[in-house]
Structure 1
Amino acid sequence: MSGFAHLHVTSGFSLRYGASHPETLAERAAERGMEAVALTDRDTLAGAVRFARASAAAGVRPVYGVELAVGERDERAGDPVRRRRNPVRGGAFVDESAPRAVFLAREGARGWAGLCRMVTAAHARAEGGGAEAERPLLAWEDVREDGVTALLGAGSDVGRALAAGRPDRAARLLSGWREIFGHQLRIAVDGSGPLRTAARALGLAAQEGVSPVLTNAVRYADPGMGPVADVLDAARRLVPVDPRGGLDGGERWLKGPGEMARIAEAAAEAAGYRRNTAHRLLTLTEETAGACRVDPEDDLGIGSVHFPEPWLAGTRGRTAVRELRSRCAAGMAVRRYERDPVRWRRLEHELGIIERLGFSSYFLTVARVVEDVRGMGIRVAARGSGAGSFVAHLLGIAQADPVAHGLLMERFLSPRRAALPDIDIDVESARRLEVYRAIFERFGEERVATVAMPETYRVRHAIRDVGAALSMDPAETDRLAKAFPHIRAEDARTALAELPELRGVRAEAYGARFWDLVEGLDALPRGVAMHPCGVLLSDASLRARTPTVPTSGEGFAMSQFDKEDVEDLGLLKLDVLGVRMQSAMAYALDEIERAGGERVDLDAVPAAPADAADAADAADPLTYELIRSSETLGCFQIESPGQRDLLGRLQPETFHDLVVDISLFRPGPVGGDMVRPFIEARHGRRAARYPHPDLEPVLRETYGVAIFHEQVIRILAVMTGCDRGRADEARRALGGEEGRARVRAWFAAGAERRGYPASVIAATWEIVESFGSYGFCKAHAVAFAVPTYQSAWLKAHHPAAFYAGLLEHDPGMYPKRLLLADARRRGVPVLPLEVNRSASSYRIELESDSGVWGLRLALSEVQGISEADAARIEAGQPYDSLADLWR
């Protein structure tokens, strides 16, 4: 029976229930001769994308489904779900009393959309949202056919009635399901439970004329994994493992066709049927699997892109391509580039790539978000490789001019890159949720969701859960867990053998079984939370392609897929990062305007360096004097002791120097002794060295030292004659040993064809190979250098307001007492608390005696005064007596 297919299979994405990864399940199905296998996780479709990838790699056809708890038939719409009381309220530990059914997608995209709808509906009724939600429950009125086949197994209301010896009740319950699903209803004969129950299910199917299918309620890939499932059950139910036999019978593994054929024969015999009944049971199972066809590419959308409709970005009836070209041309005029042929060529080059890949709508969408954020008065800046796009610069997404800074589009986007473009934007941390709400309002809830972030078992969590399951002393388990560093659970034994800090742990005292269980939990999902910055944007079909769940707090809809999965699904993921330095600078600017009436545009400060890579006349002397003095406590990216030491040695004079400084202060360059050669060449103490004159234009800006990804891309392109897209592809392959070997052979052959001597090829390869450990994306560094310069400018020109912003939003690494000490040392008066002058937040005041702006301490810093008390005191100012204050 090579055609057998398991139709009820859970993976580790069934939180604290499934004990195997989807990849393992797909591999085992192929190894055991199965043509198809289903994934039917509890309450989620989160594993579907990686299951699709694994199935394609293994050569098996994936069947998609979900197992959901289903509400009672007499439950009225809108009524609260009846649940047992939680432990805090004196009730049961975990309520798993609701019957469960399995639903399989049948009719391609329609069936997948039906699964998404049901999962979303089940979670919409759960209380709390997110990882802290009550168990999801699909209300009976939300059960619909929608291109879906229903399987009623031992855990369903019908199965439970059969187990209780109530075939009459089972038949009555079955009729309600049949009204909804008709011929798409199946009774699952479960081979993992008692044979008597399986026989009763087979008998009911024959009696009622419903097709039966054979399942095994799979929870793990291999035999012998039952103890891991026991630990997961114990962790989920908050009870220890029963020492008399555990909670799992050990039979719920992915059995091969031979084992399942024997189960079918045993069930048929127990039900009093002939052997051909077993054969028909297996045939019906195979036919059901064959009918449940969902194509990962055509129906799930894997490999295609789904951006919001262009009209939402303001195309005004034009195509996205025409609108993007029009806006870029306008940007050229606004930034006074219209007479620059170099920039026009760069623009045409980038637009050609964007149009070829079909990403015009992507850029318009991101630009729309950035425009909205700026319109709300929120500081926003691009970061990452997206800052290397000239189109992003012209649209106002990225501030720095990539042409002036020598940034490459290919590092961000090229026809050779399989990944979707990824532009990250930094916003004020204090207003990040406002940005989220604005995105939901702009594009509509049917097109927007946040991104999930699974939390997986690592060694400390695994030790604690295994210890609790085995009834070990909690204090001892906690001590053992804390002794381990934050490593994978599968590395527990290796760490015990190799790490000096674990020499005092007697591994044998816990027994081999303990460590087997710890390692068996490795990387299994144990919870899920909302990603701290990922926002998902799509067209109006988003809810038909991803299930969403409510999150706690703001209640934003969250896709069940993580950041890697949403990219595979072709969904636009925009990382909206809350940066406290942006909040601190915004607060400082508000204080400058409030106290002095001066409105400072920090993005257009005099001699702003963002569009001038090296121009000395664009440098603000006071700002760079501050930076060279290393008095940069509180300044973005350059405040750590190591950074201040590097500033003192480097002595930056231009914006490009800041970019280099940020790039050099990384573990790779510091550990690889790349800082010293650069600084010596920078100050003329050694001559810059180049492997070949052709590479001098590439390495001149860094005195012969390769620091940036963009430089290595150019080196590879120059030496081999390839385009920059291919060069970036080779650069990315340098991270692995196998890829590095392939790139070396390709590089040597290409350079030799172009006539470079062997000595030059060897010397250049040494630079390229060592680069893998310390290179940094120049676009990242340029994007970081903009707020670095801005924060230093504020400290140099408006120190009191700068410190007020730091103390209010705490963006750096130093405690407030050190920031106050730094303020005093730099001549900023620190004014004491004064009931008629201090506000609930830090404020700046013009000191009457000295005429210098000082910093007034905040009422909120007084221990024992709440935010509400501080606000009440501020609202009542001024006070003319103590009695007035107390009133």
Structure 2
Amino acid sequence: MAKAAERIVEAAGMRRDAAHRLLEETRRTAAACLVDPEDHIGLGSVHFPEPRLVGAGRRSAERVLRSHCAAAMVLRGYDRDRVRWERLEDELRTIERLGFASYFLTVAQVVDDTRELGIRVAARGSGAGSFVNHLLGITHADPVANGLLMERFLSVRRAALPDIDIDVESARRLDVYRAIFERFGAERVATVSMPETYRVRHAVRDVGAALGMDPAEVDRLAKSFPHIRARDARAALAELPELRAVAAEQERFGKLWDLVEALDGLPRGIAMHPCGVLLSDAGLLARTPIVPTSGEGFPMSQFDKDDVEELGLLKLDVLGVRMQSAMAHAVAEIRRTTGRVVDIDDPGQVRPGDPATYDLIRSTETLGCFQIESPGQRDLLGRLQPTSFHDLVVDISLFRPGPVAADMVRPFIDARHGRKSARYPHPDLEDALRETHGVVVFHEQIIKIVSIMTGCERDLADEARRALSNPERQGRVRAWFHAEAEKRGYAPEVLARTWEIVEAFGSYGFCKAHAVAFAVPTYQSAWLKAHHPAAFYAGLLTHDPGMYPKRLLLADARRRGVPILPLDVNRSGAAYRIELTSGDSRGGPDKEDRHDRGSGDHIGVRLALSDVHGISEAETERIAAGQPYSSLQDLWLRAHPGRPVAERLAQVGALDAFGTSRRDLLLQIAELHRQQRGAARRDAEGQLPLAETGPAAPAGLPDLDADERLGAELGILGMDVSRHLMGDHRDFLEELGAIPAKRLRDASHGEVVLVAGAKAATQTPPIRSGRRVIFTTLDDGTGLVDCAFFDDSHAACAHTVFHSWLLLVRGVVQRRGPRSLSVVGSAVWNLAELAQLRKEGGLEAVAAELAGASPETAEAGSDSGRDSDSGRRIEMPTGYAMHPWADLQPAGDQAATGRKLWHASPGSAG
């Protein structure tokens, strides 16, 4: 810059003194613009909040951390355990050597502040392997008792900052953010930004708008696609059977597809990361640009999650978990209705090894339970039959791509049930593999194997494991492993077999610490379902944490004997509540949910006002605050519901307490609305108010019939409350010979069956073979039926599966255990269309329709149609093959009622 200024001076012929001043000013400006990455933005160093903010005022952070841990050893009763003292000392030495004491104190402070707010909090991830985290109250499970390794989380060989993720109640995540800002100050805290890039649906919408296309047409096209990359739009049209209707009109849209694919991956905007929070010292604002977020106005760094780690900033992931909110709501409802304080984190109350909890888990009736409710997980539970916390840890770890790719699931199940004896590559590895019957399941086992066979420390063994994910480093690791193991006398055949296991599983397995952290809320949620089912369902329905729609949870609650209490403006609140009911409840909940009550008393779930379609938060609050109401007019004058909301409340029976038919109520609402508009008009014109009469006397109109009531429930609440919607088809299905879900468990392997139900969930997760499989779960009111459609049936079946709600499926029963079965579908029909055909053409017409789609016809259709199996595969480094259209949220999102009544997973099941 200075040289450029000199040339300018020479060219301008300026006086010497003026030129000197200009040059000096230019040099100062250049010096001010010079950025030193280390000095100015702290690149290469770590920045934690000042120790005084986390209790280390007069003492060092290291001494404070040691003091906290020693006190916790006494409080937890570990002070006489030499093994735990040695483990603690090893971890503290590592933390002190790395200079991370302030980090642990900072995270512990955040967790303590969160608990002080009454918010549930638990850590997840590899941090569960740290005994220090356990003593600080950051993690629940004891890593020593569960065989977890600190080296998987932190060691002197790992250059990256430690990563502790904490789960909090999703409904109160922003409260935790505010507490962090309050504790550390806005000059030390910021949220992390996240770029939003174009995928196919957004690209179709924006390109369609730019081209001036009809908005309804654009909306239809966008919703037709699964959630895929924009660049794959035309490939999806060519290969996915469920898109054949759009593909048939592909040419009509001209350059739309060129422009859509050109937008792939380009930035569409920037948003606040869903969980990342930066914590630093008071110099944070000098090291990162900040903008306020929309809505809450939190300071947001313009650096993304990878940038902030390079800058040495502490990124704490505060994840909002809906299951934590659901469990908190359940516990609060128990306390509100019974006065009993249930602490599900207290092992004295939620006892490990509870028989009722494991009976529930083994039954596979685990809808709503954290991590174990998906069809694949329920299948695995049925085969594994857990009896202990360790079994839950293994179950969660096995249901991952790594163990599936390495074919570890089947050998483990066989060994667990004694069908095959445990086999170890070498007797030295028995201690490392005994807990999983000789089958490698956890990352920690890989670390132990490498350490045992090479004689290296565990931190180096973990570095070797991590290197396996890098193809360029795999060869060096293999050479090092063989060389070191040969020095220790291991035979070549042992090395070959062991390396095969290590290579296949080392970088794609699952961390046991992750599984232990997940297994804690898994067990807690199952315990709540087993002992307090009504409160459990109230929490689930309020916070919607799982993969199934609310209507399916209602059906599950009915099957477990929990009464479903209808919407009532005098009893319903903004959230789901539990209430004491009397009379027959078809089985009733467990004794803990009935304590101190008569044998005829049961606890039911009262529906929530917030589920009424279109109701605002303000309307919900006004209605709840004004309860009870003596009449419709009283509700109208004090709660001020809008006319559409009042009419919907009447249609679903929330106003039945006012003692007249629902049609009469609708008429009265119209009259109240007319009077209100007239009064407003007179007031605007300055007229004197007239005495208003109340709503007209009941006109004696006929009430809504059963079908109209069910239709109103589905359209307004998205749930079939008064009765299960499949009840209307029961006689028809008996005529067809369809097997109900509760009787399907008695069907034999290989039997051809007809099954039917309302679609509850659809996924296309990756499987070991690399084929694309559509999994769908049907609910027929008696239970669930899990169906699988393999690629040879997609041409005939995929469109109907994705775009219909009520399905009739012909398939073959596949059994893999006493509690594990599914139906492999070969043909599928829209049940609603078949029912209409039955009315118009009789049973003979339906029989002809079914005969026209025999398995042979379906196979022929696959050959002649556009098969979804394109032959392309995504080859993974371990040999795991994935279909290019697997692991996607399927197309479509609308039910026939206009409300989404099933779930479509954005990723793998579970």
Counterpart pick for 2:611 among 861, 864, 867: 861
Question: Which has the higher mean CA deviation after the structures are superposed, 780-789 or 467-476?
Answer: 467-476
Matched-pair identity in %: 73
Quote the RMSD (CA, aligned, Å). Answer: 3.9
Query: Structure 2: how far apart are the matches of 1:292 and 1:633?
Result: 60
CA–CA distance in 2 between the matches of 1:881 and 1:497? Answer: 60
Q: Residue type of the partner of 2:197?
A: T
Look up the SS of the partner of 2:145 in the other structure. Answer: coil
Q: Partners of 2:239 and 2:635 in 1: how far apart?
A: 64
Matched with 1:527 is 269
Provide the TM-score with structure 2 as the length reference.
Answer: 0.62
| Residue 351 (str. 1) matches residue 92 (str. 2) | yes
Assess if the C-alpha contact under 8 Å between 2:121 and 2:166 holds in 1. yes
Superposition pairs of residues 721-870 of structure 1, within 5 angstroms: 721-772=455-506, 774-849=508-583, 850-863=600-613, 865-870=615-620
What TM-score do the two structures reach when normalised by structure 1? 0.64
2:112 is matched with 371
Over 3 Å counting, the alpha-carbon distance change for 1:817 and 1:441 in structure 2 is same
8 Å CA contact 2:233, 2:257 repeated in 1: no
SS in 1 for 2:274: strand
Structure 1 position 404 matched with structure 2 position 154: no
- C-alpha contact 1:426 1:579 (8 A) present in aligned 2: yes
- The secondary structure found in structure 1 opposite 2:41 is coil
- The yes-or-no answer on 1:427 pairing with 2:168 is yes
Report the Cα offset of residue 753 of structure 1. Answer: 1.3
Q: 1:879–1:885: 8 Å Cα contact kept in structure 2?
A: yes
Could you list the per-position Cα deviations for residues 320-354 of structure 1 after superposition, in whole angstroms to 9, with x for gaps in the alignment? Answer: 00000000001111111111111111101100110
Which of residues 852, 864, 875 is equivalent to 2:625? 875
The match for 2:101 among 328, 339, 360 is 360
What per-residue deviation string (whole Å, max 9, x for no partner) do you get for residues 608-643 of structure 1?
56xxxxxxxx41111111111111111111111111
Distance 2:205 2:623 in 1: 47
User: Are the aligned partners of 2:94 and 2:156 in contact in 1 as well (CA < 8 Å)?
Assistant: yes
Does the 8 Å CA contact 1:606/1:620 hold for their aligned counterparts?
Answer: no
Cα offset for 1:730?
1.1
Structure 1 partner of 2:381: 647
2:600 equivalent to 1:600:
no
**Which residue type is aligned with residue 296 of structure 1?**
P
Deviations 1:337-375 (A, max 9, x none): 111111111101100110000000000000000000000
Q: How far does residue 855 in structure 1 lie from its aligned partner after superposition?
A: 1.3
Matched, 1:712 2:454: no
Once the two structures are superposed, the pairs formed by residues 144-543 of structure 1 within 5 Å of their partners are 292-457=33-198, 523-543=265-285
* Aligned-residue offset at 1:885: 3.7
Paired residues, number: 618
State the alpha-carbon separation in 2 of the partners of residues 548 and 751 from structure 1.
Answer: 52
Counterpart check, 1:619 vs 2:353: yes
Worse overlay, 792-801 or 470-479 = 470-479
CA distance in 1, matches of 2:575, 2:216: 42
Residues 288-342 of structure 1: per-residue CA shift (max 9 Å, x gap): 8788532222332112100001111122421100000000001111111111111
Partner residue, 1:572: 314
Alignment partner, residue 55 of structure 1:
none
Asked if the contact 1:188–1:212 (Cα under 8 Å) also holds between the matched residues in 2, the reply is: no
Partner residue in 1 for 2:331? 589
Going from structure 1 to structure 2, the CA distance change for 1:878 and 1:520 (only over 3 Å counts) comes to closer
Task: Tell me by how many angstroms 1:884 deviates.
Answer: 3.9
Instruction: Identify if the C-alpha distance between structure 1 residues 472 and 339 changes in structure 2 by more than 3 Å, giving closer, same or farther.
Output: same
Q: Distance in 1 between matches of 2:67 and 2:180?
A: 24
Deviation string for 1:487-534 (max 9, x for gaps)? 66778899899999999699999999996x888866454421110110
The letter of the residue matching 2:473 is G
**1:605 to 1:285, Cα distance in 2 relative to 1, 3 A:** same
1:57-206 superposed matches below 5 A: none
2:131 partner letter: F
Partner of 2:301: 559
1:659 equivalent among 393, 402, 405: 393
Say which SS state the counterpart of residue 847 (structure 1) adopts.
strand
Q: Any conservation in 2 of the 1:593–1:599 contact (CA below 8 Å)?
A: yes
Q: CA deviation at 1:720?
A: 0.9
- Contact conserved, 1:707 with 1:774, CA < 8 A, in 2? no
**Alpha-carbon distance between aligned partners in 2 of 1:450 and 1:211, rounded to the nearest angstrom:** 47
Amino acid at match of 1:751: A
State the alpha-carbon separation in 2 of the partners of residues 772 and 494 from structure 1. Answer: 34
Deviation at 1:211, TM superposition (A): 11
Q: Are positions 1:546 and 2:262 aligned together?
A: no
Deviation per residue, 1:749-785 (Å, 9 max, x gap): 1111111110000010011111047410111110000
Distance 1:211 1:677, change over 3 A: farther
Distance 1:475 1:656, change over 3 A: same
Code of the residue aligned with 1:543 in structure 2: it is L
Separation in 1 of the partners of 2:297 and 2:420?
60
Q: Does 1:691 align with 2:444?
A: no
User: 2:191–2:301: 8 Å Cα contact kept in structure 1?
Assistant: yes
Give CA-to-partner distance per residue, 1:434-491, whole Å, 9 cap, x none.
0000000000011000011122355776787788889999999999988887666778
Could you tell me whether the CA contact under 8 Å between 1:187 and 1:212 is conserved in 2?
A: no
Give deviations 1:37-82, integer Å, cap 9, x for gaps.
xxxxxxxxxxxxxxxxxxxxxxxxxxxxxxxxxxxxxxxxxxxxxx
Q: Aligned equivalents of 1:340 and 1:333: distance in 2?
A: 10
Secondary structure of 1:302's aligned partner = coil
Q: Which stretch shifts more, 814-823 or 462-471?
A: 462-471
How far the C-alpha of 1:605 sits from its partner, in A, is 4.1
Alpha-carbon distance in structure 2 between the residues aligned to 1:285 and 1:835: 74
Q: Distance in 1 between matches of 2:240 and 2:579?
A: 55
Whole-Å separation in 1 of the counterparts to 2:372 and 2:110: 29
- Residue 128 of structure 2 aligns to a residue whose secondary structure is helix
Cα offset for 1:870? 3.2
| Partner of residue 367, structure 2 | 633
Mean CA deviation greater in 859-868 or 305-314: 859-868
CA contact (8 A) 2:5 2:26 kept: no
CA–CA separation in structure 1 for the residues paired with 2:541 and 2:261: 45
Give, as a single letter, the amino acid of the residue that structure 2 aligns with 1:602.
I
Aligned mate of 2:436, from 699, 702, 705: 702
Q: Distance in 2 between the 1:813 and 1:698 partners?
A: 35
CA distance in 2, matches of 1:476, 1:831: 41
Secondary structure of the residue aligned to 2:466 is: helix
Counterpart in the other structure of 1:125: none
For the structure 1 residues 285 and 836, does the alpha-carbon distance in structure 2 shift closer, same or farther, using more than 3 Å as the test?
closer
Deviation at 1:875, TM superposition (A): 2.4
